[in-house]
Structure 1
Amino acid sequence: MSDKPVPQAEWESIVSHVPLVSVDLVVEHPDGVLLGKRTNEPAKGEWFVPGGTVQKHESLTEAVHRVAKDELGLAVSIQEQLGVYEHFYDVAHVDDADGKHYVPIGYHVTTEGDSVDIDSQHDSLRTFSPPFEGLDLHPYVRAYLLDAGFDIE
């Protein structure tokens, strides 16, 4: 696995020209499902599942565990792979990009601890309990929750 960051100019070219392979996590915490309020594009200001791009030479399982540790400070157990999704966004954090295209692999995971650390991609983290009444769920989050078997109505 490559743990060296991609140089900014190269990252901007990648975002501008190719889809990004990522893992997105439906994190089942003892108090509910953990969502983060995003501070950056895409989906800025939305309650969203944690996730991140897969690094070169990193298995999907390794990516799930790294993302959970890096974004939440949590160890997780994988319950199931939910499937492969496509996410299209009109905006990106890269100036010249015509939106952003992700090909995320969704996972339903459970936490192996209670303590959660917030990262710079979120201004808050909260747990929400099904059926998520009163929460305006992003369509991509809604799809993940349904596929993980949660009641959202």
Structure 2
Amino acid sequence: MLSMQQFETVVNLAPLISIDFIVRNSKNKILLGRRINKPAKDFLFTIGGRIYKNEKIENAKTRILNDELNLEFKDLNPKFIGIFAHFYKDSFCDDNISTHYVNFAYEIDISYMQNLPKNQHNDYVWLSLDELLNSEEVHQYVKNYFTNSNCNIK
């Protein structure tokens, strides 16, 4: 595991690899959480996290779903949506260090959720696609999942 100083150097010099989950319920609403941390602090955002060095993608999906949503990966069948680039002017550690993510997006359907963790998001909402696309509280990168012509999400 990297020290905080080493991780700051990585964020400053290289892109991070991450996974986002577009979580949809039976009413066709999308789950978003209000981010606690930079980048994208205070925006409504999809649920996700970075992939660690030497971590297989399947293991990262399992860990992220468990950490972020208390969900078991074995019960789900994530659908790959696409790869996206996210560029932020700030980072978790400094407003003068930018963050670059290469993001793998997946969609999952969930019928029921409870006890959502509060370590990355302090509030959660379910929004229709129209609400999501028209909300100023939803980050543009989330909207891009639904408006990008190369994306297979409906």
- Aligned counterpart, 1:71: 68
Contact 2:39–2:90 (8 Å) recurs in 1 = yes
Letter of the structure 2 residue corresponding to residue 144 of structure 1: Y
Residue 53 of structure 2 aligns to a residue whose secondary structure is coil
Moved more, 20-29 or 105-114: 105-114
Q: 1:123 to 1:96 in 2, by over 3 A?
A: closer
Paired residues, number: 146
Range 108-117 or range 61-70, more displaced: 108-117
Output the CA distance in 2 between the equivalents of 1:112 and 1:141: 21
Separation in 1, partners of 2:117, 2:135: 21
- Give 1:58-137 correspondences, 5 Å limit: 58-76=55-73, 77-95=76-94, 98-111=97-110, 113-132=112-131, 134-136=134-136, 137=138
> In structure 2, what is the Cα distance between the partners aligned to 1:84 and 1:104?
6
Q: What residue in structure 2 maps to residue 15 of structure 1?
A: 11
Paired residue type of 1:67: I
1:41 Cα deviation after fit: 0.7
Question: Offset of 1:112 from its aligned partner?
Answer: 6.3
Listed as ranges, the gaps of 5+ residues in structure 2 are none
Aligned partner of residue 86 in structure 1, secondary structure: strand
Deviating 4+ runs (over 4 angstroms): none
Shift of 1:12: 1.0
Would the alpha carbon gap of residues 30 and 116 (structure 1) be closer, same or farther in structure 2, given more than 3 Å must change? farther
- TM-score w.r.t. structure 1 length? 0.83
Say yes or no: does 1:143 pair with 2:144.
yes
TM-score by length of 2: 0.83
RMSD over aligned Cα, in angstroms? 2.1
Structure 1 residue 122 displacement after superposition: 0.9
Q: Deviations over 1:58-98 (max 9, x none)?
A: 22222122111101112352341111111100011223852
Alpha-carbon separation, structure 1, partners of 2:36 and 2:105: 21
Distance in 2 separating the partners of 1:111 and 1:62: 20
In structure 2, how many angstroms separate the alpha carbons of the residues matched to 1:130 and 1:144? 11
Query: Between the two proteins, what is the percent identity of the paired residues?
Result: 29
